[in-house]
Structure 1
Amino acid sequence: MATARARIRRRQLAAIMLVASAITPVFNILTSERSLRSAIQGVVDAILISLLVGGYVLFVHDGWLRPWFRRLGFRADLALSSAIMLALFLGGRAAGQVVTTLQPGRFLTSFTEPHLRWYALPFFAVIATTIQFVIQMNRLIGANVLGYFAAGVYHRPKAEERIFLFLDLEGSTQLAERLGSDAYFELLRRFVDDLTDPVIEAEGEIYQYAGDEVVVTWPLEAGVRDANCVRCFFAIRAALARRAARYERDFGTVPRFRGGLHGGTVTAGELGDLRRQIVFVGDILNTAARLEEYAKRTGLDLVASGALLERLALPAEVEAKHCGELALRGKEARVTAYGLTGA
């Protein structure tokens, strides 16, 4: 069964192949005579280029050599992948000429044409770099966030109904001391990697990482649908349990975490100039963070506000235990809270 990330990558791959397949016909229209032969050449080139680019992204960049590319860093990955994609564009175009003319020698002679030097090389270099830059930014700041910026969704601050789940790694200070900073960072990296699929499956998005804390958010409608925000917590716990042997082998422990869950109205908008990001502000986040602190203090796994639980139907396997009216740090009004436990 394909993971949530695999499905997202397939959609992204389809978009990349669609763009790649459209490039050569556009180039031929701009630089060649409009004829049936030119149209056929464009279609053949488009098919070959999309297959080459798609194969590279799927089997090499995101497949066999994915760990190596991740270690390269943003600039090196951008430069190398852009160069490879440029070579694939030009190679696919040259192969297309072989197919349409049935002359194998056209593959090499196509690289010596003045047309390539003055038009094709700069054109495809710009396209390859642009595609790779979008891919890298998409992975750097997140697909949803890049879309929000591009569409200007939060250019002007606006009120939204959202749910926030604060997750905090248990015993992080002791873990860091015992493992050392490098091994502890690797544990955090693996922890975040393992929780990503459950978050996506639950229609959530990771809002931010803050040390050993991860904040997940949903639009209210998506979060309450099928109790996604609650299911997400227990799905993450199940994912870690399935990988318990690997964690024990590599770190001598299995990560445990606690959570605080609350929802309501927040203000969302773009913040910053030199480094711009989308920020959510409001008492809702403070309350979710305080509920997570309460869970840590009392040994509960997940604590959710009564106000949020009134808006969703809990799964049959999840039980809610009333914690009372809590006086949370920094809040004047008491908050009705429930401890949630799953099967």
Structure 2
Amino acid sequence: MYGLVQATRGAGGMDARLERRLRLFAILVVVSVVASVAFAFARGYTSLAGIAVGVAYGVLLTIPIAGISLFVLQGPMRPWLGGLSFTAGLMVRSAIFAAIIVPTLYFQLGSVIAGVPVDPAHKGFWVNIAFAVVFVILANLIIGIANIIGPRALLNFVSGRYHAPIEENRFVLFVDIAGSTGLAERLGGVGIHRLLDRTFRLLTLAVVDYRGEVLDYVGDEVIVTWREDGGAIECRPLRCFMAMRDELARASDQLQREFGAVPRIRGALHFGPVIIGEIGDVKRAIVFNGDVMNTAARLEELSRNVDGGFLVSRAAMERFNSPPPFAVRDLGRLPIRGRNDGIDVVGIGTPAPV
């Protein structure tokens, strides 16, 4: 099974992380250039030379700042930075960005590149610094908030997509940490929390690869969803679950050394109409409701007694636009709590340890 996952994983979007970063990089560069030009206009620099200086500063500052943020801080430094508090992480990022902003503005590199004479008196230095610092802090806050609630959730809140509840067809994947109760008894409260945090971070890599959306973490479970059109492509939810197991397998040595255990996962996938909408006041959230959510959760419970530890409803299988990436076996109709007629399901063809 492990080799099969390795062979098929790339077809489901191994470049999704890079694609996401490049898309965000392009957006940040464009927004920064527009903001820099607007700032130049606000200060009365409306000539072509003034616009050129604004564009130059926007590019000079954003390319290294966005590049470091997305490809270093969100890359090799992500585990270390993720271990810091929100405020500490914000301070680290701000300090790095200040090291780029201050010399760029002090030496007036934007003017130099645009071919405009520099101001030897540095009259506008502190005004420019203030604007750059405010812009960077706001960008950092947005990135930090997006990391807390999820970038898609932030975009949905801003756009008001689910301000009034709507119905969408969704794939819903429930993933559970097997044997978490025993692990909690052995590791203690703090230890199991650290293990769950590390495990969920690893599982999230697969979610990003296969363009899913983390809906919530509930105890030792993570819930992932896809819209119908995105999830149907190349069986992304199925590939995502197998990639999750792959991530845990690759990190097994490190997890064993640190925690004395390697988490194993079970899961279940279902598909159907879900009611999505904002709810709450003091702590507003976007929630998913409906029979699909309940059925997916109960299928996950059933997966504990099935070889392979993974169940897929027939309703989900019929929505994919290509054959599954691994062998499956028809398990027929299983009785399920809350449904008198049961539900048709399939399982993984080759059992995996659970």
| Residue 316 of structure 2 corresponds to residue 308 of structure 1 | yes
Distance 2:347 2:136 in 1: 51
The equivalent residue for 1:170 is: 178
CA distance in 2, matches of 1:309, 1:60: 38
Q: How many Å separate the matches in 1 of 2:211 and 2:83?
A: 28
Report what 1:138 is aligned to: 146
Which residue type is aligned with residue 267 of structure 2?
G
Deviates more, 1:269-278 or 1:56-65: 56-65
Distance 1:142 1:148, change over 3 A: same
Aligned to 2:237, the other structure's residue is in SS state helix
Distance 1:36 1:202 in 2: 45
Counterpart-to-counterpart distance in 2, 1:55 and 1:283: 43
Task: Answer whether contact 2:335 2:343 (CA < 8 A) is retained.
Answer: yes
1:151 and 2:159 correspond: yes
2:327 alignment partner in structure 1: 318
- CA 1:175–1:45: 2 relative to 1, 3 Å: same
- 1:35 is aligned to 47
Task: Determine the structure 1 residue equivalent to 2:349.
Answer: 341
Following superposition, the deviation at residue 65 of structure 1 comes to 4.8
Measure the CA separation in 2 of the matches of 1:158 and 1:39. Answer: 44
Change (3 A) 1:238 1:78: closer
TM-score, length basis structure 1: 0.86
CA 1:277 to 1:102, structure 2 compared with 1: closer, same or farther past 3 Å?
A: same
Q: Distance in 2 between matches of 1:241 and 1:69?
A: 24
Shift of 1:192: 1.4
Question: Which range is displaced more, 66-75 or 124-133?
Answer: 66-75
Query: What is aligned with 1:201?
Result: 209
- Name the amino acid aligned to 1:274: V
Are the counterparts in 1 of residues 171 and 269 from structure 2 also a CA contact under 8 Å?
yes
**Could you tell me which of 275, 283, 289 is aligned with 1:281?**
289
**Cα gap change, 1:305/1:136 in structure 2, threshold over 3 Å: closer, same or farther?**
same
The answer on 1:45 being equivalent to 2:57 is yes
C-alpha separation between the residues in 1 aligned to 2:302 and 2:76? Answer: 44
Distance (Å, rounded) in 1 between the aligned partners of 2:206 and 2:77: 25
| Structure 2 residue identity aligned to 1:178 | R
| Structure 2 Cα separation of the partners of residues 252 and 242 of structure 1 | 15
Which consecutive residues of structure 2, in runs of 5 or more, have no partner in the other structure? 1-9
1:179 to 187, 191, 196: 187
> Quick one: distance in 2 between partners of 1:221 and 1:60?
32
Tell me which residue corresponds to 2:7: none
Write the deviation string for residues 297-327 of structure 1: whole angstroms up to 9, x where unpaired. Answer: 34541112222223335425222231x3322
Whether 1:222 aligns to 2:230 is yes
Measured at CA, do residues 299 and 315 of structure 1 come closer, stay the same or move farther in structure 2, by a change above 3 Å? closer
Q: 2:17 is matched with which residue?
A: 5
| Contact 1:208–1:214 (CA under 8 A) maintained in structure 2 | yes
Residue 93 in 1 paired to residue 105 in 2? yes
CA contact (8 A) 1:3 1:197 kept: no
Q: How far apart are 1:85 and its partner, in Å?
A: 3.9
Give the residue type in structure 1 aligned to 2:25.
L
Distance 1:311 1:35 in 2: 56
Q: What does the per-residue CA deviation read over 1:133-159, in whole Å, with 9 as the maximum and x for residues that have no partner?
A: 111111111111111111111011011
Render the CA deviation track for 1:142-188: whole Å, top value 9, x for unaligned: 11111111111101101111111111111001111112233322221
> Over residues 226-275 of structure 1, what are the superposed CA-to-partner deviations in whole Å (9 max), with x where a residue is unaligned?
22222221222222222222222222332211111111111110111111
How many Å separate the matches in 2 of 1:169 and 1:143?
25
Shift of 1:47: 3.1
Residue 4 of structure 2 is matched in structure 1 by none
Distance 1:168 1:315 in 2: 22
> Contact between 1:52 and 1:92, CA under 8 Å: does it hold in 2?
no
Give distance in 1, aligned partners of 2:78 and 2:167.
39
CA separation of 1:167/1:301 partners in 2, compared to 1, >3 Å: closer, same or farther?
A: same
Q: Report if the CA contact (8 A) 2:101-2:129 is conserved.
A: no
Q: Which has the higher contact order (CA 8 A, sep 6+)?
A: 2
Summarize the Cα distance change of 1:62–1:238 in structure 2 as closer, same or farther, 3 Å threshold: closer
The code of the aligned residue for 2:330 comes to K
Q: State how many pairs are aligned.
A: 335
Could you tell me whether the CA contact under 8 Å between 2:105 and 2:129 is conserved in 1?
no
Contact 2:53 2:116 survives alignment (8 Å): no
Q: Does the Cα contact within 8 Å between 2:29 and 2:59 map onto a contact in 1?
A: no
2 CA distance for matches of 1:136 and 1:275? 17
